[in-house]
Chain A
């Protein structure tokens, strides 16, 4: 079975490269693109600390979405918070020794996985039953939801139905750090789970998943409302003044 292990090893190297490289490229691109005008959506904070607080509320509590649509807020918050717990739980497969907080979070990670599925199902249901949301959904929107649900379900299956040899999975990923390929257990559910995760990593920088870094660069949310006090001018606009 080492053939499959090899393929997965290369797949994960490739996926990691695409994910990190792609997101880094997009972040650099966003950071380098000037924001020539002050456009915070007001009422906006007048200090940097205020902006950090506003941004934190957006990231942690989805404040704007809460005002926008309660159902979408409930489901997407369930999904994202569940995903966070699941990710933290999974860290034990990649870190040795496992830090105490990660050990303690293990059971909650399972609930996170369930919350994630419920949230995603809710979001997907909206795409069928709310005519406005159905209208704006493209095939990729459905596919990404399907992909995430499939990842969640295969994950939960390994916890509740067909266990896999976790020790060897951990060995496999630990081996990748040293560029050594250990044999991955040949369980179909595990292989499917890992394949889908790699796929998710690969599409991340080319899909709407860019909303994650995008939020931090959104001028309506990250700008300080102080245009009268401080002159704000982009390099290309500055050049107009010299003409």
Chain B
């Protein structure tokens, strides 16, 4: 691995709130989106003339469209409750990474152009013109926000920096200043169907290979069907599940669960992506366009149910927005939640006693669980508030013998982001990613020291990718991050599989 050209934060015994170091992250700039990536999304290719006016106009437009933006820009009293809550602040010490510091980058411009106080007394209320410097700050610091919403938990008014940072990115895209990573990926979804740009034939090939691997491994024909019309369930999963480690082990797990459930299911080459980066750039239009692909695939394949694989923000878009963006889903079977999370699906089967596990298959691991932010703070599972915390833990406990939670302050709705969400999972933001991961890794380190934890499970493709990359910076192994359905896959006892005893008996019989 390339050596870090920045200081990796030290892991401390107790979490510390650092003193502010203004400007330490001002150098962090992610690559700008090129014209061809911008075009595909309906944005201008490069910085437009009279960008200042266009940006203010766009801000006005968004203020009229999003109550959250208007209320949140007005309501902050600078109480400071959020200042020590952002993992990027804790890891970088840059005060513009404090949620309120980040919001103020937009708020001071809002004040100048949209409030009386800011128009007449700008110095008094900290209002400024939209200058090139301010735009530069927007670009740098709104791409140091993973939109994890941890700050919104602690704000007395529920001010959600994710909403502010989405609006800022939307404004920047509209004046031709987009981020390469997100916009290129959305373009790939439009053109090829998924974030990784895996074309249909490659996907089919990959899944055939997977079937062979699972057969070799278990002796059971677990199918991974694609584009199968008339299947009952459409599985939509992050494209990372098709090839990356540890993601693909999770996909194998879903396949085994479906196999045991005895349901027919399929994936779609057209909508072969659960992730929806339209959310990261705050673009309702693009988020809708991506979501509609799933609707089209569901109609074309004639499925009755939609199940989502392990992906954090995909689940947020699915759970909270899919009905809004691409509904109504009246053509699906209304007896099941629409859409359903794979964990809900597996948990239901467990409740019905339809799955058998050999927990000892995971005995080489002592586990902890990382609540992914979009699942924890922006979605639900099951029918009770907090099901998104309980159901994944219940599944883990069902498939393994050794489990410990991390510190209460750092899990459930107070969970720390992995540091790579919100469109930051790109190598040009490695410093931000490594430093932003520090609070989570510190908490992980505690349970490693105290409970001899060896592995951390997560149900988000970004978390898995991020930790794989970032754990080594802190002296840990990349394979210490695992998926829940990877654990399920290890422990599940497949019907039709001969047990070891039987197979040795039959071996003796033939001998």
Which residues of A approach B to under 8 Å, CB–CB?
Answer: 26, 29-30, 33-39, 41-46, 50, 58, 62, 64-65, 67-69, 72, 76, 123, 126, 130-133, 135-141, 143, 203, 206-208, 210-211, 214-215, 217-221, 225, 227-228, 230-234, 236-237, 240
Contacts and interface: CB of A to CB of B under 8 A. Distances in A.
Nearest to B64: A33
Interface string B288-329: 100000000000000000000000000000011101100110
B262 interface: no
A50 B384 CA distance: 12
Contacts of B65: 33-34, 36, 234, 236
Interface stretch (B157-165, B222-230, B266-274): B157-165
Interface string B73-106: 0111111111111000000000100101100100
B25 to A, nearest CB: 14
Nearest to A135: B95
Contact of A227 (B81, B100, B324, B385): B324
B80 A72 contact: yes
Interface stretch (B147-155, B205-213, B486-494, B497-505): B147-155
A214 B377 CA distance: 21
Contacts of A234: 65
A130 B17 CA distance: 11
Contact of B68 (A220, A227, A231): A220
Given A33-B70, A64-B154, A39 B85 contact: no
Contact of A42 (B76, B81, B157, B413): B413
B116 A231 contact: no
Given A35-B67, A72-B81, A132-B98, A42 B385 contact: yes
A63 B101 CA distance: 23
Grouping DSSP codes into helix (H, G, I), strand (E, B) and loop, the A interface class, with mixed when no group exceeds half, is helix
Contacts of B79: 65, 69, 72, 76, 123
Interface string B376-388: 1111100111101
Interface residues of B, number: 75
A67 B19 contact: no
The 7 closest A-B pairs by CB, nearest first: A68-B154, A68-B81, A214-B75, A220-B158, A138-B126, A43-B385, A133-B80
Contact of A136 (B100, B337, B377): B100
A215 B75 contact: yes
Given A37-B321, A138-B126, A232-B324, A65 B154 contact: yes
B284 interface: yes
Given A33-B70, A39-B163, A68-B82, A140 B125 contact: yes
A239 to B, nearest CB: 12
Interface string B44-55: 000000000000
Contacts of A237: 284, 288, 324
A31 B454 CA distance: 51
A144 B364 CA distance: 60
B152 A41 contact: yes
A67 B80 contact: no
B157 A36 contact: no
A68 B324 CA distance: 32
A163 B511 CA distance: 110
21 contacts: A30-B67, A33-B70, A35-B68, A43-B385, A68-B81, A76-B79, A123-B79, A132-B17, A132-B84, A133-B80, A135-B20, A140-B124, A203-B117, A208-B77, A210-B74, A218-B68, A218-B72, A220-B68, A220-B158, A227-B319, A231-B324
A33 B323 contact: no
Contacts of B70: 29-30, 33
Interface of B: 17, 19-20, 22, 63-68, 70-72, 74-85, 95, 98, 100-101, 104, 115-117, 121, 123-126, 149, 152-160, 163, 284-285, 288, 319-321, 323-324, 327-328, 337-339, 376-380, 383-386, 388-389, 413-414
A162 to B, nearest CB: 32
A26 B68 contact: no
A131 B20 contact: yes
A116 to B, nearest CB: 16
A96 B157 CA distance: 36
Contacts of A220: 68, 149, 152, 158-160
B117 A140 contact: yes
B98 A41 contact: no
| Listed residue (B22, B67, B124, B159) with the most chain A CB atoms within 10 angstroms of its CB | B67
B81 A30 contact: no
A42 B373 CA distance: 10
A41 B413 contact: yes
Contacts of A219: 67-68, 71, 158
A138 B78 contact: yes
Given A42-B385, A130-B80, A220-B158, 7 more contacts: A33-B67, A38-B324, A41-B377, A41-B413, A67-B153, A76-B79, A231-B324
Contact of A218 (B95, B157, B284): B157
A141 B125 CA distance: 8
| Listed residue (A34, A72, A214, A221) with the most chain B CB atoms within 10 angstroms of its CB | A214
A135 B22 contact: yes
A116 B155 CA distance: 22
